[in-house]
Amino acid sequence: MPNVEHSTRIFLIGANGQVGQAWRDLLTDEQLVGAVDHKALDLSQLDELADRLREHLQPHLQPLQQQSQPLVIVNAAAYTAVDQAQDHQQQAFDINARAPGIIADVAANLRIPLIHYSTDYVFDGHGEQAFVESDAPAPLSVYGRSKLAGEQAVAAANGAHLIFRTSWVFGVHGQNFLKTMLRLAQERDALSVVDDQIGAPTPAALLAQVPFDILRQLQEREDPRWGLYHLCPTEHTSWHGYACYLIRQAREMGWSIRVTDDAIKAVDSSEFPVKATRPHNSRLCTQKLQNAFGLTLPAWQSGVDQVLAQLDKQ
């Protein structure tokens, strides 16, 4: 029996982002049949996107469309500059909504499943409870609206797809909150960190590993489990709780941390004015995903520990 885990082939869009690089770290050369960055496939060039994508896919269509070697497209590219999106609505919608729609149409026509990512920012963040997939979206920002339109465009193409809404992504590659806090904790005597936004810090590696594992269970295009899921670790915290945890762990690992625990001040988000309104509650319920695929997701702290250990080795 062929091992399905090894026979699934991935074509990756957005190869240099945090999540894109996590896919590249996860996959063998045989599993990653193609990986395109911004230069090789520009999602803002909507007129030519479908043709360019089909050209990239063409060499991999035969014989990989055989049942034993399925090909899957992963779209890890996005316009993620949340505040800039407020002033660049057209660009945000082109890359986050129209381009995913075109990618999904190409994928559906070629009968290739598509994995796509979305965000907690599709919700307004009211309340304290974790949002479930069926909760009504009500984005507060252009970025959130563009990502919601992207989800809808992917679903409208009617092909086999998985959309994963996630939150607070971090990893060893790229820029993120964890790396910024680590740097500041080494440079400064005191820090102020927002305490009135809650969510789950999500390691980029989890956003590659879980979808890839799930593909092993999704052999049929008719499987009812294709669709929209929330994917993040269990438990939740605030940005302040996240910063305190990661700084304490780094100190215990021997990093030369300057700031003391007492000097990490919890502040309201009003102290850091930004263009795009963030949800106060970014909690995402992952029960649907865990039930559908028999998964147990880790707590967010273990992802922080792993990334700190990787950064420590570098």
Residues engaged in binding ligand NDP (CB under 6 A): 14, 16-20, 37-38, 41-44, 76-80, 95, 117, 119, 147, 166-169, 174
Q: Shortest gap between Cβ of 58 and ligand NDP (angstroms)?
A: 19
Residue 213 identity: D
Closer residue to ligand NDP, CB minimum distance, 42 or 196:
42
* Catalytic member of 79, 121, 143, 229: 143
By beta-carbon proximity to ligand NDP, the closer residue of 35 and 259 is: 35
CA dihedral 41, 143, 107, 25 (to 10 degrees): 60
The rounded distance, in Å, linking the Cα atoms of 251 and 104 is 45
Q: Taking the CB of residue 269, how many other CB atoms lie within 10 A of it?
A: 15
Q: Long-range pairs for 26-34 at CB < 8 Å and ≥24 separation? A: 26/205, 26/208, 26/209, 26/212, 27/212, 30/6, 31/6, 33/9, 33/60, 33/64, 33/71, 34/60
Q: State the minimum distance, in angstroms, from the CB of residue 254 to ligand NDP.
A: 28
Query: Has 143 been annotated as catalytic?
Result: yes
**Quick check: 75 and 13 in contact, CB under 8 A?**
yes
Helices then strands, each counted (H, E), the chain: 11, 12
Q: How far is the CB of 262 from ligand NDP (least distance, A)?
A: 28
- Please say which residue, 169 or 215, places its beta carbon nearer to ligand NDP: 169
Adjacent-strand bridge partners of 227: 162
Cα-Cα-Cα-Cα dihedral sign, residues 306, 307, 312, 314: positive
**What does the alpha-carbon distance between residue 138 and residue 133 come to, in Å, rounded to a whole number?**
13
Q: Least separation, in Å, of the C-beta of 166 and ligand NDP?
A: 5
Closest residue to bound ligand NDP by CB: 17
Looking at beta carbons only, is 8 or 146 nearer to ligand NDP?
Answer: 146
- Smaller CB separation from ligand NDP, 25 or 42: 42
Nearer to ligand NDP, 115 or 259 (CB): 115
Q: Omega before 63 cis (within 30°)? A: yes
C-alpha dist (Å) from residue 92 to 77, 100, 135: 12, 12, 24
CB of 289 to ligand NDP, least distance (A): 15
Tell me the closest approach of the beta carbon of residue 169 to ligand NDP, in angstroms.
3
Q: What are the residue numbers of the active site?
A: 143
